Structure 1
């Protein structure tokens, strides 16, 4: 089962990457059985915390979103995550030849590498149930660092390249990931201006 890889990536990542490479799960199956499930954690937890728990900044009053606004923002976040993982997987496959990766008849390795590298970020979504901004920031920062390390660790194994090339390949992919992140932030501002911005309760 694809979800079993999530635990293995924290306990024995090298063995898990070897297993993932041999598995060659089709991108569609990987998306449905893994990404669609785990990517939903953060939006669902964010909806619950922002619409029902609320949060405070300093000694200010409790802040909550309306249920409709929280739902809209959660759905948009979920879609952005799905697009981001796909875009990163596409970039991995697109740059594969440049860094001497072993060619595959089915280009599933790039999507697999992106999906499984994002596992810590997916699971960090549980932290949103405790809506304290500094706590959430720390958890997601640690998750992002571990996800970046997972990608660097998995590149030589999954893509079949030398470890020396994995450093430059990984650096290029982190740059792409940052571009994707900035694009989603800009997209958020544009979407908010179209009437989907946060609506707070009185």
Structure 2
């Protein structure tokens, strides 16, 4: 499997690519080593560069996360993203009988890994913190990838795929909030302010200013 070709094919023609993914031999080790661990580096490294080297600018101020904190944030975020792929695979596999699908641990892991491609690739926008929201929007394409892959890899009826997808997406959102919460604990306050909506950021800055005066 050529990594670049696989990324292009799953993003541009998922319906034609899922059957090929279903048919090819794979195990957890090879999926992680040859695909997940490589692509998961994109958002982790881009976030480090964006927060610690490029920096956040807003309201006439600029801030960079200290390099050590940025490295810790990068490593923890990278590990959690790897764990998240595995946890989602467990959820996909466990929910298969509920939606008349067939349980398959390796099929579920393939689905979780390749459906995460959009989120991983979209992480490149974190190079510029102001554009990170675009990466979040790009990750939404992963919902469509999941929807098209469930009937192929988990053998669920097509009419059950929407509900199946919805349940998995809800679990992914919860997991994403947990990861964001953990990373926020490792990120200095000014960087967290940069990720807030403008009105919220102003309120936080006013509170911090009032506490100092």
Q: Bigger relative contact order, structure 1 or 2, given CA contacts below 8 A and separation 6+? A: 1
Normalising by structure 2, report the TM-score.
0.82
SS of corresponding position for 1:97: helix
List structure 1 segments (4+ residues) > 6 angstroms apart after TM superposition: none
Q: TM-score, with normalisation over the residues of structure 1?
A: 0.87
Partner of 2:188: 198
CA spacing shift, 1:77–1:38, aligned 2, 3 Å: same
- Kindly state the Cα deviation for residue 45 of structure 1 after the two structures are TM-superposed: 1.1
Q: Which has the larger radius of gyration?
A: 2
Secondary structure of the structure 1 residue equivalent to 2:98: coil
Number of residue pairs aligned between Structure 1 and Structure 2: 190
The equivalent residue for 2:128 is 130
Structure 2's unaligned 5+ residue stretches are: 192-213
| 1:8–1:199 CA distance, 2 compared to 1 (3 A) | same
1:28-67 equivalences under 5 Å are 28-57=29-58, 59-67=59-67
* SS of corresponding position for 1:101: coil
Give the aligned partner of residue 120 of structure 1: 118
Q: Is the 8 A contact 1:43 1:78 kept in 2?
A: yes
Aligned counterparts, 1:170-181, within 5 A: 170-181=165-176
Equivalences for 1:79-158 in 2 at 5 Å? 79-104=79-104, 107-132=105-130, 135-141=131-137, 143-158=138-153
Contact map agreement 2:15 2:148 (CA 8 A) in 1: yes
Unaligned runs of 5+ in 1: none
**Are the counterparts in 2 of residues 89 and 110 from structure 1 also a CA contact under 8 Å?**
yes
CA distance in 2, matches of 1:84, 1:2: 24
